[in-house]
Amino acid sequence: MSLLELRGVSKHFGAIQALTEMSLSLEPGQVVGLMGDNGAGKSTLVKVIAGNFPPSHGEILIDGKQVHFSKPVDARAQGIEVVYQDLALCNNLTAAANVFLGREPRVGFGPIRILDHAAMYRRAGELFKELKSETRPRDLVRQMSGGQRQAVAIARTRLSEARLVIMDEPTAAISVRQVAEVLDLIKRLSEHGIAVILISHRMPDVFAVAHRVVVMRRGRKVADKNTEATSPEEVTGLITGAIATA
């Protein structure tokens, strides 16, 4: 049974048809590269999956059961986490504090409850180790590289026991060495059985980590292929429309 399945999902904003009859299924541990030109409907698709707004038509199923998300916490409760492009980290806090932001463990009882810093550092350290990242729990995010910041954002999704992590252009604005780090993190998630939807314009990144490539054009899915069964040339043609479908 698929972890996530979309059946005939459409979304319009007034007269604008942003998504048309989109179908997609995703298995645990699968990495899907989602590609398409600006305006193709990628972000709209992500927002429907993440509960930002409901689809105009169509069904979303998790573990084969239909779900109705009306807000992001509904999707999060089903293990769906989005790492947005800007990562939404607090620069003036430590890596550990960012991992736990909004869900800090506390000690004590009644009105006397204080943050359990020791537990936060310990758990964050475990998560970074699990992700094979060199990020240290006590380091300030302000002083970190792009790759380490990604590790912090991804560690947050591990904390919440995500089953699907959606990443919107994670490698758009970072250096080559850091790109390798982020791609490694994606592989780690997959090894832990977590499915990943990677939105990227970078063909080498997608071909390095994705099991499948999904191409969207003008709100429609025009290809959904195993990575070995396609090529960067074909995907480019599908994105631009030089190749209609594949």
Ligand X SMILES: Nc1ncnc2c1ncn2[C@@H]1O[C@H](COP(=O)(O)OP(=O)(O)O)[C@@H](O)[C@H]1O
Binding site for ligand X (CB under 6 A): 13, 16, 18, 36, 38-44
Residue 43 touching Mg ion (CB under 5 A):
yes
Query: Which residue number, 9 or 152, has a Cβ lying nearer to ligand X?
Result: 9
Name the segment binding Mg ion (CB under 5 A); options: 35-43, 86-94, 135-143, 174-182: 35-43
- Per-residue x/- track, 200-219, Mg ion (CB under 5 A): --------------------
- Per-residue x/- track, 137-176, Mg ion (CB under 5 A): ----------------------------------------
Query: Which residue number, 44 or 171, has a Cβ lying nearer to ligand X?
Result: 44
Query: Which residue number, 42 or 158, has a Cβ lying nearer to ligand X?
Result: 42
Given Mg ion, ligand X, none, residue 16, with its beta carbon under 5 to 8 Å by kind, binds: ligand X
Name the segment binding Mg ion (CB under 5 A); options: 42-50, 73-81, 201-209, 237-245: 42-50
Q: How far is the CB of 131 from ligand X (least distance, A)?
A: 27
Q: How far is the CB of 41 from ligand X (least distance, A)?
A: 4
CA-CA distance, 195 to 246, in Å (whole number)?
23
Instruction: Give the interface with Mg ion as residue ranges (CB under 5 A).
Output: 43
